[in-house]
Amino acid sequence: MKEIKVELADRSYPVLVGSGCLGRIEKYFPESARRVAIVTQEQIGIEIPFSKDFKVFEIGKGETAKSIETVIKLCREWVDWGLTRSDIVIGLGGGMVTDVAAFAASIYHRGLNVINVPTTLLGMVDAAIGGKTGVNLPEGKNLIGTFWQPKAVICDIDTLRTLPEREWKCGYGEVAKYHFLGADDMRESGLIDTVVECIKVKTSIVAEDERETGNRAILNYGHTLAHALELENKFTLAHGEAVAVGIRYAAQVAFYLGRIGEDRVAYHEEILNHYGLQMKLGKRVDIDRIISLFSKDKKSMDGITFVLDGDLGVEPVLVQDVNILMKAMEVVQ
């Protein structure tokens, strides 16, 4: 089992990665906790045995259930059950579950301890770590949320046994992203080492910029187009699939802006191909609509901010020439 620490002063916490590490979860419960609220989804079907009094709260599936209504329903069920401020919440599931559970925990009684137990590859390498919580609005993804660091993150590789093929691909969409954010080349690594390497990169970025006032934005590499595509496709395109297309698109935008050369674009393709990721949507999209969705993305301040590769590595860049953004869409359709 490997342990990586997220260094955030009094909000620091461990991330465990390994086989069977879920058995250690009680070690991270605060002494005050009498009750454990486990938030999960029916299809996940993973049981965690505790000595404490616990109850399972199931939420719906998919991005449409990642809503403020789900959060309110959860909080009301917690009140009904008598969950108090000294108790603990566990988010047991993919990124959707951990985002919702931790958001609800962060506002319930003005903040309850939460432990994230990601059960998807994407959750392990990204969503469960770093303290971003939130839900969608009809107007866009993750438009309401909080920063609320968990007490621990337990990445038990055994939970991935039942993960469908498509969800593996989604996880590898985020793994591919880390290749451009300073990770070692993971193409020859085993699963645990790959997860650990991605977590190391994420935790070091989060430790430097917890609240995304600067460099943390680079974790959104490939995400501006991804969020627009997810919304435009009414979430029939999964997050990780959209991120893979978004990474290829971001490479093209960087190329048109003269930030990277053809060889670097080819390297993007090589990495995405290695993980068997689709770089094209396979259909035409309404480009004007996609561009208008970019400007609704919460990362846009003045103009459209894109996270782009370049000589100094990946960094946020304000793109004002909308024509470049439109032209680059051609390579991913």
Give contact residues for ligand NAD (rule: CB under 6 A).
Answer: 41, 43-44, 61, 63, 66, 93-97, 99, 119-120, 122-123, 126-127, 130, 132, 141-142, 159-160, 162-164, 167, 170, 239-240
In the complex, least distance from residue 55 CB atom to ligand NAD, rounded to whole angstroms: 19
In the complex, least distance from residue 29 CB atom to ligand NAD, rounded to whole angstroms: 22
In the complex, least distance from residue 39 CB atom to ligand NAD, rounded to whole angstroms: 12
The residue among 63 and 297 lying less far from ligand NAD, judged by its C-beta, is 63
**DSSP labels, 11-40:** G-EEEEEESSGGGGGGGGS-TT--EEEEEE
In the complex, least distance from residue 167 CB atom to ligand NAD, rounded to whole angstroms: 5
Residue 3, C-beta contacts closer than 8 angstroms, at least 6 positions apart:
14, 15, 16, 17
The residue among 67 and 142 lying less far from ligand NAD, judged by its C-beta, is 142
Query: How far apart are the C-alpha atoms of 37 and 56, rounded to whole Å?
Result: 6
The CB-side HSE value for 120 (13 A sphere, CA atoms) comes to: 32
Contact criterion met (CB below 8 Å) for 63 and 136: yes
The residue among 15 and 96 lying less far from ligand NAD, judged by its C-beta, is 96
Instruction: Dump strand ranges (E) for 101-172.
Output: 113-118, 132-137, 140-147, 152-156
The residue among 43 and 333 lying less far from ligand NAD, judged by its C-beta, is 43
In the complex, least distance from residue 225 CB atom to ligand NAD, rounded to whole angstroms: 14
- In angstroms, the first-to-last Cα distance of the chain is 42
The residue among 49 and 258 lying less far from ligand NAD, judged by its C-beta, is 49
Query: How far apart are the C-alpha atoms of 205 and 108, rounded to whole Å?
Result: 28
In the complex, least distance from residue 76 CB atom to ligand NAD, rounded to whole angstroms: 22
Query: How far apart are the C-alpha atoms of 216 and 212, rounded to whole Å?
Result: 5
The residue among 41 and 67 lying less far from ligand NAD, judged by its C-beta, is 41
Cα dihedral value 324, 326, 331, 333, nearest 10:
170
In the complex, least distance from residue 141 CB atom to ligand NAD, rounded to whole angstroms: 6
C-alpha dihedral sign at 169, 171, 172, 174: positive
In the complex, least distance from residue 283 CB atom to ligand NAD, rounded to whole angstroms: 22
The residue among 33 and 118 lying less far from ligand NAD, judged by its C-beta, is 118
The residue among 35 and 66 lying less far from ligand NAD, judged by its C-beta, is 66
- Provide the token pair at 180: 């451009």
Residue 236, C-beta contacts closer than 8 angstroms, at least 6 positions apart:
none
Task: Write the DSSP symbol of residue 229.
Answer: H
